[in-house]
Amino acid sequence: MAENIDYEQIYQLTFRKQWAELLELVYKYSKSASSDELVIRAVNTFENEFFGELDKGIPKDNIETVLENLFLLHKGRIYSLTEDRAIRVVVELVNIYRNKSLVLEAYNYAKFYPKQEICAEVIRLHEESLPKVVEHSQRNQIKVTENKNIANVKYTISLFKSHQEKEFFMAVRENFQMFVVYPNVALGRVIN
C-alpha cells in the first residue's frame, strides 16, 4: 500500500465526474493502482460511470483527453480494460480524429483494431492516399513514387508578375511583330 495516496481526492474526483483528473491520479499512483483495493474500486466506479455516460451520448468534445489517457493506461498495463471496452475506446478515438480531419492520428489508433468497420475504413483511406512506389531499372539506388493527389495540381507559375505586365507584353508583341519580344526584360536594357 502506498503512503501518499489521497483517497478523499480520488473519491471527490469520482463523485464530481472529473475523469481526466482521476486518470492522472491513477497514473500518478500507477504502482499501487493494480494492488490497492480502494484505488481499484474508484477506478472501477469511474469505468462503469464513464462507459455508462458514453452509451447515453455524453458530449464528444470533452472526452478526447479521457479516452486517450484511458487508452494509454490500458496499453501501458497500468489499468486493464476488457477487450470490448478497449475496442470502444479506440473506435471513439478514431471517430473523433476522423471528424476533425486528423487522418494520421485516426490511422494510428485504427491500426490497433483493424477488423472494426470504422478502423478498416480509415486504414483503407489512409493507405490509398499514400504515394505508390513505381518500379524502374534503378530501384536499388533511387525510390520513385507516384502520388495521384499531387499529380492533378498545376505547379507552373506565370512569367508575368502582374496583369499589367502581361498586357504590356502582348501589346509590344502585337505592335512590333518583326522583333522577338522577351518577357521580364527591363526597359532600361532596350531603351537608353
pLDDT, tens digit (0-9, with 9 covering 90-100), for 124-177: 988 888 877 888 888 888 888 876 666 566 778 888 888 888 898 889 889 988
Residue 2 lies in a domain: no
Are 138 and 175 in a shared domain? no
Q: Which domain holds residue 66?
A: 7-151
Residue 141 lies in a domain: yes
Residue 189 lies in a domain: yes
Half-sphere exposure (Cβ direction) of 68: Cα atoms closer than 13 Å: 13
Whether residue 2 is predicted with pLDDT greater than 50 in this model: the reply is no
Are 103 and 120 in a shared domain? yes
Residue 11 lies in a domain: yes
Highest mean pLDDT among 1-5, 22-26, 137-141: 137-141
Are 72 and 55 in a shared domain? yes
Are 122 and 186 in a shared domain? no
Highest mean pLDDT among 25-34, 53-62, 90-99: 90-99
Residue 163 lies in a domain: yes
For the chain, how many structural domains are there in total?
Answer: 2
The three three-digit cell numbers of residue 156, written as one number: 507552373
CA dist list (Å): 165 to 17, 115, 160, 171:
66, 59, 6, 10
The three three-digit cell numbers of residue 129, written as one number: 492516399
Residue 105 lies in a domain: yes
Residue 120 lies in a domain: yes
Angle between helices 83-99 and 37-56 (to 10 degrees): 50
| Cβ burial, residue 55 (10 Å; 0-12/13-18/19+) | exposed
| Length of the chain counted residue by residue | 192
At 151, give phi and psi (nearest 5°): -60, -25
Are 30 and 122 in a shared domain? yes
Are 145 and 161 in a shared domain? no
Whether pTM exceeds 0.85: no
Assign 117 a pLDDT band (cuts: 50, 70, 90).
Answer: very high
Whether residue 116 is predicted with pLDDT greater than 60 in this model: the reply is yes
* Contacting residues for 46 by C-beta, under 8 A, at least 6 apart: 14, 19, 22, 23
Segment 62-73 shows an average pLDDT of 82
Whether residue 37 is predicted with pLDDT greater than 80 in this model: the reply is no
Residue 1 lies in a domain: no
Distance CA 110, CA 114 (A): 6
The amino acid at residue 174 is E
**What pLDDT does residue 152 have?**
64
Are 161 and 144 in a shared domain? no
Are 97 and 162 in a shared domain? no
